[in-house]
């Protein structure tokens, strides 16, 4: 199993991750090696095994429906790259 | 060729909780931008979600109402995509293990009942809002809505016309309000839908390629959007083209649907179980609790109204269309002890009319069931006529007074003393010799004139039946 | 005074031998003197001295806890309000956290003094602390070598006595491996024992914060403050916290130790193997029984781990998009450009590699083959441990197949770097608690012994570690030049 440079570009786009053109081959080869490592799992039969998502076999705890948060807009927006009129600003979104 | 339309709906109902699905921030509508977006809603580094118990209860309630399987364990998953109104870069939703499984709902179109399958209903968080007013060519993001709980209700592709789709959407709308899990406010976006629409030659078993019409927020637009989309698809196929599977937006100004290419590009959502949340367990205890709290549902209520109150289908439908109205009606019947039809005439007639005119809902009504019942009692015991009752009703609408107080104050009590009625009629006959002559010469229509005069003389406080009878006797 | 244990320092503070301000200043001076180790990303000198003054007042009133006035340094993965929280990344170089992690709140409550924020691999992804945006950290035992990772700054700072103790986080060995390589004591608690709220997530189902200290006794004191149920963390376990110091002196006679044969494969350096065997012999002398056990699926731990951890991190790191906080590229042309360049310019190579890997493993068509498969393997591995731990009380083995390696030795080959985690990551997959304690030296470099227990047996692990530290002095040795 190995990844082509096109596949690397495609997943980089899915992940919105800019990568240098010159590094793509390295990523392709690194990822291919990782995949090779991962295919080792295929040697073990797991047909009857339930996937394990969590170490703890517990159910989700539930929170009461109470509003406890206060308005901290100024505080939270003091670390934002660009805000105006209480809004976070981003380049134009086209629908 | 004859074409058949196939429609499935995905309805998003905003659950009527106080706080968000995974945080303790308020869900109240209309706050200043980003004042109700807490650390969790903003997706700050290190924050974690904790599930709101009310959201679970509401989903179970809905599941029971559509007679669906409720999953003993359901799982939240991350749906990954980048969009500025989605702070974490993923939406917490449910994929493989939704909380509500297969169920159904019956709709009525043209007097016929049809069962619509519901594939599933799952919980998810809403995204924020992009504001497109111009900020120097930039878009503003308001995350107040981010994290608001939604129940996404997915139907089977069981609807065969726009009318059926609207009927189904209305029925779900009625149901979620009945269950008090959603306020149903479509202007505020609390209830909206996506429609999957395709066409196929009549008789063909396979479905055609479908288009998904996104974010339709009124019953009218659902109908229009589907009709115009069906027309577009048929035109395409008949001119030798084919339908492309895509997301389309309905433009109500132009009455057309158009492709949303921006949403097409990356639809590999890479769902996987959210490791920050554990499986949601629905215990037998919770099921029993919810079941005990489950209100009588619209269909059952309508049937009961037909039987218990001897209502026709149309009136029963109106009365059972909302839980508040049905409760109001039943309270009026109980408190007034009047004929159920007198009550329904007044509730669906004057009462609803006045509410509509004033653009109010039942909760905002200035007249409660007890005052209306008091009025109906006075009609039933002949204290006032129906006509005077309307006048009393109007006065009640403007004040806090009871019907009895108004009748007293305004002296509206019906004249029942036959001697007094006779004197009035005698006077009318004496004052109008010309009309008497006309009537006696065979012009029956003039009879109405005498009745009118009697009413006028008593400001309507006279029993019309009594007047008729006496006039006929005197004018023989 | 900087060489003393927390217990000793606490006694001295209460006895008025020196003040918390003096102790804090001593460490601050050492931090400056040994700045070359590059342990700290941020030194919070002013804040530390203020806290120390407050602690000194508290110490006189008698309302002090065991940690009051004790200088502690925090891994820069824990959010600290008003203080830069970088997670070792350019992405958060400008990020002053607007809130405190639960762990930080707990330390504040205890009256501990925070010296600063410790260097780490970027977003905790790495085993050598070389992926940090702030540069590599040196191992004080040999400054040409790495301290291990990802809690490399923490391990190096404790070993060099730049702080009384530190916190770390462990997703695949990130507390134990650097503890081993730097000759200190580290504990990765049971998953769910320490709150993850405010601890910047790498792989949510594996991450767990824990103490890194000079001794098991000190680790017990830190654990007391760190552990506990947190309603803000859905994966936090609502279970009473025991007194971690209470059982430290329980004798070990009758203790059943399992030795997983897979821990002694040919990949293990033979000198390390014999060091570990010597340590186990020490336990035999204390009355423990030794038994061979097997974890047959352990070889699958690395592939399963790298699928699960990469998948989780690919989603966890999506929030870093240049919109609400953190790095934003200059003059983004459009939305896509904002995302792609902000993330592309601010994430380092290892982080990118893992995001790409995770994105791929979760994408359509590969999900079952990689992600679901890895979760099934995870169950097999977990069941191996359950089986083994039903036969014995604890498992013992090495932490790392090698001692500290030279900087740059493995940076060119990510796979080789991943294999360094071979003995630690299976424990994270199972969610078990485990420790690394100093057990000797190979070529003057520390070697750690790993002790793995059943769920929520941290007290027992600390007891077992402490008893060993009563009969050995490996944990008391300090690197040359840092005595």
How many Cβ pairs closer than 8 A exist between chain B and C?
A: 98
pLDDT one-digit tens code per residue, B373-410: 999 999 998 888 888 899 999 999 999 999 999 988 88
Catalytic residue among C154, C164, C174, C342: C174
Of B378-392, C127-141, C182-196, C237-251, the poorest mean pLDDT is in B378-392
In terms of C-beta density within 10 A (0-12 exposed, 13-18 middle, 19 or more buried), how is residue B354 classed?
middle
What tokens appear for B168 in the block?
A: 């189904």
- pTM of this prediction exceeds 0.95: no
Q: Distance, in angstroms, between C426 CA and closest chain B CA?
A: 18
C195 assigned to active site: no
What are the domain boundaries of chain C? 6-255+433-476
Q: Distance, in angstroms, between C8 CA and closest chain B CA?
A: 34
What tokens appear for C286 in the block?
A: 């204390």
pLDDT one-digit tens code per residue, A8-61: 999 999 999 999 999 999 999 999 999 999 999 999 999 999 999 999 889 999
Query: Is C325's Cβ below 8 Å from some Cβ in A?
Result: yes
Q: Which of C334, C355, C372 sits opposite A91 (nearest CB)?
A: C334
Q: DSSP letters of C429-441? A: HHT--EEEEEEEE
Per-residue pLDDT at B176: 97
- Given a cut of 70, whether residue C148 has pLDDT beyond it is yes
pLDDT one-digit tens code per residue, B221-268: 999 999 999 999 999 999 999 999 889 999 888 999 998 865 545 579
C174 assigned to active site: yes
Residue of C nearest to B143 (CA): C324
What tokens appear for C291 in the block?
A: 């038994």
Per-residue pLDDT at A57: 83
C128 assigned to active site: no
Q: Which residues contact C177 (CB under 8 A, 6 or more apart)?
A: C127, C148, C149, C399, C400, C420, C421, C424, C436, C448
Q: Is the dihedral of CA C380, C382, C387, C388 positive or negative?
A: positive
CB contact under 8 A, B34 and A89: no
Of A86-90, C100-104, C329-333, C416-420, the poorest mean pLDDT is in C416-420
Helix (H/G/I), strand (E/B), else coil: C142: strand
Choose which CATH entry (1.10.3470, 1.10.20, 3.40.50, 1.10.10) describes domain A5-42.
1.10.20
Mean pLDDT, all residues of chain B: 92
Q: Distance, in angstroms, between B39 CA and closest chain A CA?
A: 8
Binned at pLDDT 50, 70 and 90, residue B418 comes out as confident
Per-residue pLDDT at A1: 67
- Given a cut of 90, whether residue B450 has pLDDT beyond it is no
pLDDT one-digit tens code per residue, C97-106: 999 999 999 9
| Cβ–Cβ < 8 Å for C40, C118 | yes
CB contact under 8 A, C315 and B270: yes
Residue of A nearest to B264 (CA): A95
**From CA C422, how far away is CA C304, in angstroms rounded?**
12
- Given a cut of 60, whether residue C41 has pLDDT beyond it is yes
Q: Distances from the Cα of C378 to the Cαs of A56, C355, C401, in angstroms?
A: 12, 20, 22
| Cβ–Cβ < 8 Å for C237, A58 | yes
Strand stretches in A23-84, DSSP E: 62-63, 83-84
Which residues of chain A does C330 touch, with a Cβ-Cβ cutoff of 8 Å? Answer: none
Residues in a beta bridge with B131: B140
Peptide bond before C356: cis, by omega within 30 degrees of 0?
A: no
pLDDT one-digit tens code per residue, B295-329: 999 889 999 999 999 999 999 999 998 889 999 99
What tokens appear for B421 in the block?
A: 């009625």
Per-residue pLDDT at B266: 54
- Given a cut of 60, whether residue B107 has pLDDT beyond it is yes
Per-residue pLDDT at C187: 98
**From CA B398, how far away is CA C22, in angstroms rounded?**
79
Of B83-92, B360-369, C172-181, the poorest mean pLDDT is in B360-369
- Given a cut of 90, whether residue C267 has pLDDT beyond it is no
Q: Radius of gyration over alpha carbons of chain A, in Å?
A: 23
Q: Distance, in angstroms, between B100 CA and closest chain C CA?
A: 22
Look at B453 and C73; give whichever has higher pLDDT: C73
Helix boundaries (H) for C317-424: 335-346, 349-362, 367, 373-391, 414-419
Query: Is A86's Cβ below 8 Å from some Cβ in C?
Result: no
Residues in a beta bridge with B191: B13
CB contact under 8 A, C356 and A11: yes
CB contact under 8 A, C431 and A56: yes
What tokens appear for B89 in the block?
A: 């870069």
Per-residue pLDDT at B174: 94
Q: Radius of gyration over alpha carbons of chain C, in Å?
A: 21
Which residues of chain A does B44 touch, with a Cβ-Cβ cutoff of 8 Å? Answer: 76
Look at B224 and B464; give whichever has higher pLDDT: B224
Per-residue pLDDT at B261: 65
Query: Is C233's Cβ below 8 Å from some Cβ in B?
Result: yes
- Given a cut of 80, whether residue B123 has pLDDT beyond it is yes
Residue with tokens 């109402």: B65
| ipTM over the 0.90 cut-off | yes
Assign residue C148 a region (left: φ > 0; alpha: ψ between -120 and 50; beta: otherwise).
Answer: left
Element counts in chain A: helices (H) and strands (E): 3, 3
What is the DSSP-derived secondary structure letter of residue C371?
I
CATH of domain B418-474: 1.10.10.410
| Cβ–Cβ < 8 Å for B212, B8 | no
User: How many residues appear in chain B?
Assistant: 476
**From CA A64, how far away is CA A55, in angstroms rounded?**
25
- Given a cut of 70, whether residue C272 has pLDDT beyond it is yes
Q: Distance, in angstroms, between A66 CA and closest chain C CA?
A: 14
Residues B331-338 have a mean pLDDT of 93
**From CA B326, how far away is CA B301, in angstroms rounded?**
8
Mean pLDDT, all residues of chain C: 97
In terms of C-beta density within 10 A (0-12 exposed, 13-18 middle, 19 or more buried), how is residue B92 classed?
buried
Query: Of B415, B404, B416, B407, nearest to B373 (Cα)?
Result: B404
Binned at pLDDT 50, 70 and 90, residue B437 comes out as confident
Per-residue pLDDT at B472: 83
Alpha carbons within 13 angstroms on the beta-carbon side of residue A68 total 11
Sheet holding B112-125, edge to edge: B103-109, B112-125, B149-155, B3-14, B191-201, B211-216, B246-251, B256-259
CATH fold, domain C6-255+433-476, is Amidase signature (AS) enzymes (3.90.1300)
For residue C43, report the phi and psi dihedrals to the nearest 5 degrees.
Answer: -105, 120
- Given a cut of 90, whether residue A93 has pLDDT beyond it is no
Which residues of chain A does C382 touch, with a Cβ-Cβ cutoff of 8 Å? Answer: 52, 55
Give the DSSP H or E segment for B256.
Answer: strand B256-259
Per-residue pLDDT at B160: 97
**From CA C85, how far away is CA C365, in angstroms rounded?**
37
**From CA B88, how far away is CA B84, in angstroms rounded?**
9
Residue with tokens 């927006």: A77
Q: Distances from the Cα of C105 to the Cαs of B192, C81, C112, C230, in angstroms?
A: 42, 10, 10, 11
Neighbours of C (≥3 Cβ pairs closer than 8 A)?
A, B
Query: Is C95's Cβ below 8 Å from some Cβ in A?
Result: yes
Alpha carbons within 13 angstroms on the beta-carbon side of residue C441 total 14
Catalytic residue among C51, C150, C180, C195: C150
Taking each helix axis as running N to C, give the angle between helix B369-380 and helix B403-410, from 0 to 180 degrees, rounded to the nearest 10. Answer: 60
Q: Which of B44, B46, B276 sits opposite C235 (nearest CB)?
A: B276
What are the domain boundaries of chain B? 9-183+253-286, 296-410, 418-474
Residues B3-22 have a mean pLDDT of 98
**From CA B62, how far away is CA A78, in angstroms rounded?**
42
Taking each helix axis as running N to C, give the angle between helix B418-431 and helix B447-458, from 0 to 180 degrees, rounded to the nearest 10. Answer: 120
CB contact under 8 A, A86 and B33: yes
Catalytic residue among C75, C117, C214, C445: C75
């Amino acid at each position: 199993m190995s990844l082509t440079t096109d596949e690397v570009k495609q997943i980089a786009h899915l992940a919105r991750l800019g990568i240098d053109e010159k590094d793509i081959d390295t990523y392709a080869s690194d990822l291919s090696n990782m995949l090779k490592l991962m295919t080792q799992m295929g040697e073990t039969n797991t047909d009857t095994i339930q996937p394990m998502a969590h170490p703890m076999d517990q159910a989700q705890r539930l929170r009461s429906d109470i509003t406890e948060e206060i308005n901290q807009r100024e505080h939270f927006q003091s670390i934002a790259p660009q805000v105006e009129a209480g809004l976070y600003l981003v380049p134009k979104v086209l629908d | 060729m004859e074409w058949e339309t196939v429609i499935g709906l995905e309805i998003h109902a905003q659950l009527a909780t106080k706080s968000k699905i995974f945080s303790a921030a308020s869900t109240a509508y209309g706050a200043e931008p980003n004042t109700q977006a807490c650390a969790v809603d903003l997706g700050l580094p290190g924050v974690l979600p904790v599930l709101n118990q009310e959201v679970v209860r509401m989903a179970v309630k809905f599941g029971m109402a559509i007679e669906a399987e409720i999953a003993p364990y359901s799982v939240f998953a991350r749906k990954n995509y980048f969009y500025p109104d989605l702070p974490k870069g993923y939406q917490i939703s449910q994929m493989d293990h939704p909380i509500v499984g297969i169920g159904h709902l019956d709709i009525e179109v043209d007097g016929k009942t049809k069962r619509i399958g519901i594939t599933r209903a799952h919980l998810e968080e809403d995204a924020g809002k992009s504001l497109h007013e111009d900020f120097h060519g930039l878009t503003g993001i308001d995350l107040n809505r981010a994290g608001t709980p939604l129940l996404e209700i997915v139907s089977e592709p069981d609807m065969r016309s726009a009318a059926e789709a609207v009927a189904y959407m209305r029925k779900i709308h009625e149901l979620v309000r009945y269950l008090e899990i959603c306020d149903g406010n479509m202007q505020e976006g609390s209830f909206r839908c996506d429609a999957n629409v395709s066409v196929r030659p009549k008789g063909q078993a396979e479905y055609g390629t479908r288009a998904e019409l996104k974010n339709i927020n009124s019953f009218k637009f659902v109908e229009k959007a589907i009709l115009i989309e069906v027309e577009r698809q048929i035109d395409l196929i008949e001119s030798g083209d084919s339908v492309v599977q895509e997301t389309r937006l309905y433009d109500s100004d132009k009455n057309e649907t158009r492709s949303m290419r921006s949403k097409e590009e990356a639809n590999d959502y890479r769902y996987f179980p959210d490791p920050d949340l554990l499986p949601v367990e629905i215990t037998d205890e919770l099921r029993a609790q919810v079941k005990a709290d489950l209100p009588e549902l619209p269909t059952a209520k309508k049937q009961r109204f037909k039987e218990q109150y001897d209502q026709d289908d149309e009136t029963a439908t109106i009365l059972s269309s909302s839980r508040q109205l049905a409760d109001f009606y039943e309270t009026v019947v109980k408190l007034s002890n009047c004929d159920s039809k007198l009550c329904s005439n007044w509730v669906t007639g004057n009462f609803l009319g006045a509410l509509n005119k004033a653009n109010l809902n039942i909760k905002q009504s200035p007249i409660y069931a007890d005052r209306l019942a008091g009025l109906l009692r006075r009609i039933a015991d002949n204290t006032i006529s129906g006509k005077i009752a309307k006048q009393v009703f109007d006065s009640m609408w403007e004040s806090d007074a009871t019907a009895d107080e108004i009748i007293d104050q305004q002296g509206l009590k019906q004249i029942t003393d036959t001697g007094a009625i006779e004197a009035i009629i005698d006077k009318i006959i004496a004052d109008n010799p010309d009309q008497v002559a006309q009537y006696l010469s065979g012009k029956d229509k003039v009879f109405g004139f005498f009745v009118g005069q009697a009413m006028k003389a008593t400001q309507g406080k006279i029993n019309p039946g009594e007047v008729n009878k006496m006039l006929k006797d005197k004018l023989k | 005074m900087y060489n003393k244990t927390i217990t000793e320092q606490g006694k001295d503070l209460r006895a008025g031998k020196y003040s918390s301000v003096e102790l804090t200043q001593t460490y601050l001076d050492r931090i400056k003197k040994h700045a070359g180790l590059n342990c700290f990303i941020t030194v919070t000198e002013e804040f530390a001295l203020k806290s120390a003054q407050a602690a000194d007042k508290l110490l006189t009133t008698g309302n002090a806890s065991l940690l009051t006035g004790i200088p502690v340094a925090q891994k820069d993965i824990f959010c600290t309000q008003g203080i830069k929280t970088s997670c070792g990344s350019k992405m958060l170089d400008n990020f002053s956290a607007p809130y405190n992690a639960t762990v930080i709140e707990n330390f504040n409550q205890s009256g501990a003094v925070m010296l600063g924020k410790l260097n780490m691999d970027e977003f905790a992804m790495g085993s050598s602390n070389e992926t940090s945006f702030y540069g590599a950290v040196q191992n004080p035992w040999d400054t040409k070598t790495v301290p291990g990772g990802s809690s490399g700054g923490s391990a190096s700072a404790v070993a060099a006595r730049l702080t009384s103790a530190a916190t770390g986080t462990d997703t695949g060995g990130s507390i134990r491996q650097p503890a081993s390589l730097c000759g200190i004591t580290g504990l990765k608690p049971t998953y769910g024992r320490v709150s993850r709220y405010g601890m910047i997530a790498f792989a949510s189902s594996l991450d767990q914060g824990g103490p890194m200290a000079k001794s098991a006794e000190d680790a017990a004191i830190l654990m007391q403050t760190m552990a506990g149920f947190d309603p803000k963390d859905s994966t936090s376990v609502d279970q009473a916290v025991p007194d971690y110091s209470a059982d430290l002196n329980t004798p070990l006679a009758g203790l059943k130790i399992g030795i997983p044969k897979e821990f002694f494969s040919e990949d293990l350096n033979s000198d390390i193997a014999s060091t570990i065997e010597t340590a186990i012999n020490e336990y035999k002398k204390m009355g423990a029984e030794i038994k061979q056990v097997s974890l047959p699926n352990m070889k699958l731990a690395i592939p399963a781990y790298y699928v699960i951890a990469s998948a989780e991190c690919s989603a966890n790191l999506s929030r870093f998009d240049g919109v609400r906080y953190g790095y934003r590229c200059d003059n983004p042309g459009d939305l896509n450009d904002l995302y792609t360049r902000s993330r592309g310019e601010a994430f380092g190579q290892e982080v990118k590699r893992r995001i790409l890997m995770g994105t791929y493993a979760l994408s359509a068509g590969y999900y079952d083959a990689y992600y679901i498969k890895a979760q099934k393997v995870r169950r097999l591995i977990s069941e191996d441990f359950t089986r083994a731990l039903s036969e014995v009380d604890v498992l013992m083995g090495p932490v790392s197949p090698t001692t500290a390696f030279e900087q740059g030795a493995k940076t060119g080959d990510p796979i080789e770097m991943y294999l360094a985690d071979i003995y630690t990551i299976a424990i994270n997959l199972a969610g078990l608690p485990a420790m690394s304690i100093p057990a000797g030296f190979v070529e003057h470099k520390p070697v750690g012994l790993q002790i793995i227990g059943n769920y929520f047996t941290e007290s027992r692990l600390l007891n077992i570690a402490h008893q060993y530290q009563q009969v050995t002095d490996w944990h008391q040795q300090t690197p040359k030049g840092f005595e």
